Copies of this chain bind each other. A is one copy, B any other.
């Protein structure tokens, strides 16, 4: 029986489909320690890493029987995919189960930041007085505004679908220009990054963390944005130079930010807590019980199909 090493003490109900077919090795606590992984992995056929489970050269080399790395998540910057490819080990991810939950949180952050839901709610819960006058603490409109989406893949498009229904115009950057039929569906206009920064009322990052997207948003980029613009990041923390973002907020170069991901998770730069116009969530793009289980089911499907034949979400 093939052996699976679990990168997290996952819920058993999400991996029911694997029962009886595989030997599943779960940690006693939330995670295995790194030394435990290195000790166990030589005997393992499938590894399931999650966001914080670093699968690097050392781990891959120690996995002398490793046949598959079945990532729990869509982003796989936690895995040395190039090295896995060199060793002929396929890596799969979970693009389907994360799609709608992540786009949903992205748009939730956009609305909460623009319409100051985070600010109002925080003040009221803390027992502070808020002016209720007609022009007290106004937010910014979403309807009629321009959303610039950096990374118009499936998640970016699911964000665009919500934005169009909310009366927004879409401009986008992407590695490749999309088919005309997709552009027409969202009325989306392909632009260069400079134009995206200059014309957007909202900039949403929906691209993976790669060498090319590292610190995509730095000092120069924030300076190009409108000072009434809002940055939304639900992709990966590495896309934003967090220090430059803090400076841009201090200098009021941008109006606000909605952030689900951070450069040094689970640490958040403490300066960000001091900005009332920043809405913060703890990498919660797929933080619903239903989505977490759906992701497990997608991992299980990748593993079963890899061994039995069938479609898998392969990234290398």
Q: Is A83 in contact with chain B by the CB < 8 A criterion? A: no
Q: Which of A37-45, A163-171, A211-219 contacts B (4 or more CB under 8 A)?
A: A163-171
A280 contacts B162, C-beta separation under 8 Å:
no
Q: Which of A84-92, A140-148, A307-315 contacts B (4 or more CB under 8 A)?
A: A140-148
Q: How far is the CA of A138 from the CA of B287 in the complex (A)?
A: 5
Chain B: minimal CB distance from A156 (Å): 15
B122 contacts A112, C-beta separation under 8 Å:
no
Q: Is A127 in contact with chain B by the CB < 8 A criterion? A: yes
Query: Of B118, B132, B133, B141, which is within 8 A of A290 by CB?
Result: B141
Determine the residue in chain B with the shortest Cβ distance to A139: B288
Copies in the complex: 2
Sample (18) of A-B pairs whose CB atoms are under 8 Å apart = A30-B133, A100-B167, A105-B115, A107-B111, A108-B114, A111-B111, A115-B288, A116-B287, A117-B281, A121-B281, A124-B273, A130-B282, A135-B292, A137-B287, A138-B289, A139-B288, A141-B290, A165-B165
Residues of chain A touching chain B, judged by Cβ–Cβ distance below 8 Å, are: 8, 10-11, 30, 50, 100-101, 104-105, 107-109, 111-112, 114-118, 120-122, 124-127, 130-144, 161-162, 164-167, 265-266, 268, 273, 279-284, 287-292
